[in-house]
């Protein structure tokens, strides 16, 4: 098919752009370096993508799509499994996805979070909200009907934070080759287990507290 013409050069540019954007962010990355790493001409970015901004969007779109494909959302846990198990599946999947060295989209989205270019606003929202909805649903189930939506959101953001923030720090330490510094996370699965344990205990505590307040048995 001719629509999928997209030359190999374009792919190389996207790969190089992932690397450079992931390392330096949108503005610190230069078109010249991306082209150089891709073995392409200085004009290649504008030729293939129109301008730097369009390349940035396309880079994120591709990284995100690849990441989704590589890490099926529920970690292989069937939807009828107990909620605890499904939460474990989601946490483990998320962490593996974020820890994947191929993953550029995580770093890019964190950069976009703290230093927004405004270029990915829409695309990020539409991509991330569905993911969070899944976790919200499981947490809501675990908390039971007595607990209000505010607490659901609090629990969810806490769980998400425990998954993302440590991995961010981890990636940065790896990047800066701090051989001397002891790695925070030696065993990813062990740390994932730790988060699951932490999360389930936390959720349970929230549930207990709410029930106590409302006087109804857990």
Q: Give dist(CA 63, CA 213) in Å, integer.
A: 46
CB within 8 A of 114, min separation 6: which ones? none
Q: Which partner, a copy of itself, DNA, none, binds residue 40 by CB below 5 to 8 Å per kind?
A: DNA
Rg, Å, the chain Cα set: 20
Region near a copy of itself per CB under 8 A, out of 2-10, 12-20, 66-74, 202-210 = 202-210
Q: Give dist(CA 109, CA 206) in Å, integer.
A: 30
**C-beta of 31: minimal distance to DNA in Å?**
3
**C-beta of 78: minimal distance to DNA in Å?**
45
- Exactly one of 83, 137, 164, 211 binds a copy of itself (CB under 8 A); that residue is 164
Q: Give dist(CA 46, CA 13) in Å, integer.
A: 11
Number of residues that bind DNA (CB under 7 A): 22
Name which of 40 and 139 has its Cβ closer to DNA: 40
What length does the chain have?
Answer: 218
CB within 8 A of 115, min separation 6: which ones? 25
Q: Give dist(CA 23, CA 150) in Å, integer.
A: 36
Q: Which two tokens stand for residue 147?
A: 């607990």
Instruction: Print the binding letters for residues 177-196 with a copy of itself: x by CB under 8 A, - otherwise.
Output: -------x-x---xx--xx-
Q: Which partner, a copy of itself, DNA, none, binds residue 166 by CB below 5 to 8 Å per kind?
A: a copy of itself
**C-beta of 60: minimal distance to DNA in Å?**
16
Q: Give dist(CA 188, CA 170) in Å, integer.
A: 11
Closest Cα partner for 87 from 136, 44, 32, 35? 136
Instruction: Print the binding letters for residues 99-138 with a copy of itself: x by CB under 8 A, - otherwise.
Output: --------x--xx-xxxx----------------------
Specify the residue for token string 């970690």: 75
Q: Which residues bind DNA (CB under 7 A)?
A: 5, 7-10, 29-32, 40-48, 50-53
Give me the residues that bind a copy of itself (CB under 8 A), please: 24-25, 27-28, 107, 110-111, 113-116, 150-151, 153-155, 157-158, 160-162, 164-166, 168-169, 172, 176, 184, 186, 190-191, 194-195, 197-202, 204-206, 209
């Amino acid at each position: 098919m001719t629509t999928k013409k997209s030359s190999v050069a374009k792919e190389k540019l996207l790969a190089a752009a992932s690397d450079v954007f992931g390392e330096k962010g949108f503005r610190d990355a230069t078109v010249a370096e991306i082209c150089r790493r891709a073995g392409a001409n200085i004009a290649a970015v504008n030729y293939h993508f129109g301008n730097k901004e369009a390349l940035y969007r396309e880079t994120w779109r591709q990284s995100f799509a690849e990441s989704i494909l590589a890490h099926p959302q529920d970690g292989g846990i069937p939807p009828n499994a107990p909620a605890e198990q499904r939460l474990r599946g989601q946490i483990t999947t998320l962490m593996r996805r974020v820890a994947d060295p191929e993953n550029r989209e995580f770093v890019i989205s964190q950069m976009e979070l703290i230093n927004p270019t405004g270029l990915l606003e829409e695309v990020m929202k539409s991509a991330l909200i569905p993911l969070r909805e899944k976790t919200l649903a499981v947490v809501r189930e675990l908390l039971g009907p007595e607990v209000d939506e505010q607490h659901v959101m609090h629990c969810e953001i806490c769980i998400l934070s425990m998954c993302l923030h440590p991995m961010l720090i981890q990636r940065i330490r790896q990047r800066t080759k701090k051989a001397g510094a002891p790695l925070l996370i030696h065993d990813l699965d062990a740390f994932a287990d730790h988060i699951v344990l932490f999360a389930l205990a936390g959720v349970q505590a929230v549930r207990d507290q709410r029930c106590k307040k409302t006087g109804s048995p857990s």
